[in-house]
């Protein structure tokens, strides 16, 4: 096997662009075989000599960039050598292109993994938000830098930045998913999340009691407030997210069952309209002429609907709360668990992928049950 040589070269095709500039590349040579890696840096002929940028206002910065790219490519070769393997120039280029190397930037590696995965678009968008957040923490972190201490630092940075508990948990879970992919591919030898345990999410939004829901049902409202109230109640009784209810079609309801593909996860849910909360969701549909679309088409945007709901909540004494339309989903889960519905059934109705997500609401119901028991004991006294 021929030794592999890596060097910075200029304009190996001898072609200049319209500005009279040529491309700076990294050449990997192995015997008679060559592979070229673009640096996306273009220079004039007199601005490059002996592998270095000269006579350029940003020469120092550009040389740092070139050194880093060359080092990244050399690190791939070294990684193979340490594993007792040989690498060809074509394998070297593929590995660099896939950013599947210890020296690759964590964000570049993560984006590549998510981009090539079969995750839903909404999930991919969520990861893009995570990558933007992580870059604010440290955009120069390489895959080989991810260890227990760095995870702790990121966790602390999120807390100090005032990020909510459940959001922090979500960010850590996304980080864990990318790190696990790196471990599976042999890019890192040990998964640091074996030592770092991610805490559980907690339900801090709370939920609305069944008594208060009854008060909401009795309100005599104007058209705009009525639509907001009815949509909210329908979500309370079915567990549908705003994105799923606002797009719900009448043909997705058959024999008093909703059968719908959730927009966020792509997972199908089946929800009964009678039984769990008597036949309340069915009655709401009947109020709109037996066609749920006569309600959903009037819902509008989530932000404006939440503003209207805030006024409706105040009518039943719910002031100074953080309740939004999404509170309906929390309410559905919590009330079902209070009714004694098995957690696995609640998980299926809400379309939770993991039972741990459903378990968040069980913690709330324990608090409610404890308080109810205390109230009963006080009355006995």
The answer to whether residue 1 scores a pLDDT higher than 60 is no
Distance, first Cα to last Cα, the chain = 89
pTM of the entire structure? Answer: 0.53
Mean pLDDT of 171-187: 89
Phi and psi at residue 295, in whole multiples of 5°?
Answer: -95, -50
For Cα atoms 229, 235, 239, give the angle at the middle one, nearest 5 degrees: 160
- Which helix (H) or strand (E) segment holds residue 370: the answer is helix 355-380
Tens of pLDDT along 349-367? Answer: 888 877 777 777 766 555 5
What angle separates helix 302-315 from helix 223-238, to the nearest 10 degrees?
90
The per-residue pLDDT for 376 is 55
Domain 106-194 has CATH 3.30.70: no
210-380 CATH pick, 1.10.443.10, 3.10.580.10, 3.40.50.10540, 1.10.10.10: 1.10.443.10
Per the listing, tokens 């599976």 go with: 184
The answer to whether residue 76 scores a pLDDT higher than 90 is no
For 180-204, b where at least 16 C-beta lie within 10 A, e where not — what string?
A: ebbbeeebbeeebbeebebeebebe
Neighbours of 33 (CB within 10 A): 12
Contacts of 275 (CB under 8 A, 6+ apart): none
277 forms beta bridges with 279
The answer to whether residue 180 scores a pLDDT higher than 80 is yes
Query: CB–CB of 280/233 below 8 Å?
Result: yes
Q: Which two tokens stand for residue 117?
A: 């995965």
Quick one: pLDDT band at residue 339, thresholds 50, 70, 90? confident
Q: Which two tokens stand for residue 210?
A: 């069944």
Quick one: pLDDT band at residue 150, thresholds 50, 70, 90? very high
The answer to whether residue 208 scores a pLDDT higher than 80 is yes
- Gap between the Cα atoms of 42 and 211, Å rounded: 70
| Helices and strands counted in the chain (H then E) | 15, 9
Quick one: pLDDT band at residue 232, thresholds 50, 70, 90? very high
Break the chain into its structural domains and give their ranges. Answer: 4-97, 106-194, 210-380
Quick one: pLDDT band at residue 379, thresholds 50, 70, 90? low
**In this structure, what DSSP letter does residue 195 have?**
T
Tens of pLDDT along 279-333? Answer: 999 999 999 999 999 999 999 999 899 999 999 999 988 886 778 898 898 889 8
The answer to whether residue 204 scores a pLDDT higher than 80 is no
* Lowest pLDDT segment from 2-6, 159-163, 281-285: 2-6
The per-residue pLDDT for 380 is 55
Percent of residues, the chain, with pLDDT higher than 70: 91
């Amino acid at each position: 096997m021929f030794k592999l040589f890596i060097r910075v070269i200029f304009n190996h095709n001898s072609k200049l662009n319209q500005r009279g500039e040529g491309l700076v590349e990294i050449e990997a040579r192995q015997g008679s075989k060559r592979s070229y890696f673009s640096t996306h840096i273009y220079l004039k002929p007199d601005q490059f000599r002996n592998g270095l940028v000269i006579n350029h206002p940003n020469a120092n910065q550009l040389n740092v960039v070139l050194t880093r790219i060359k080092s990244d490519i050399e690190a791939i070769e070294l990684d193979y050598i340490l594993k007792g393997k040989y690498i060809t120039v074509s394998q070297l280029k593929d590995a660099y292109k896939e950013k599947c190397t210890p020296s690759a930037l964590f964000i570049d590696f993560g984006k590549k993994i998510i981009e090539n995965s079969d995750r839903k678009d909404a999930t991919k968008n969520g990861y893009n938000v995570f990558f933007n957040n992580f870059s604010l923490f440290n955009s120069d972190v390489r895959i080989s830098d991810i260890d227990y201490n760095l995870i702790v630092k990121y966790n602390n940075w999120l807390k100090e930045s005032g990020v909510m508990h459940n959001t922090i948990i979500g960010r850590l879970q996304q980080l864990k998913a990318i790190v696990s992919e790196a471990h599976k591919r042999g890019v890192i030898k040990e998964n640091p999340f074996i030592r770092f345990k991610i805490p559980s999410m907690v339900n801090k939004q709370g939920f609305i009691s069944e008594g208060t829901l009854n008060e909401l049902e009795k309100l005599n409202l104007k058209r705009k407030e009525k639509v907001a109230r009815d949509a909210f109640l329908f979500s309370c009784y079915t567990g549908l997210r705003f994105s799923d209810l606002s797009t719900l079609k009448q043909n997705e309801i058959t024999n008093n069952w909703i059968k719908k593909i959730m927009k966020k996860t792509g997972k199908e849910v089946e929800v009964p309209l009678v039984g769990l909360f008597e036949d309340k969701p069915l009655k709401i549909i009947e109020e709109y002429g037996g066609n749920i679309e006569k309600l959903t088409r009037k819902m509008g945007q989530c932000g404006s609907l939440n503003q209207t709901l805030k006024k409706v909540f105040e009518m039943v004494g719910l002031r100074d709360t953080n309740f939004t339309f999404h509170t309906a989903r929390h309410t559905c889960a919590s009330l079902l668990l209070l009714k004694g519905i098995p957690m696995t059934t609640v998980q299926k109705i809400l379309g939770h992928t993991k039972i741990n997500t459903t378990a968040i609401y069980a913690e709330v119901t324990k608090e409610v049950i404890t308080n109810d028991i205390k109230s009963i004991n006080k009355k006995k006294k």
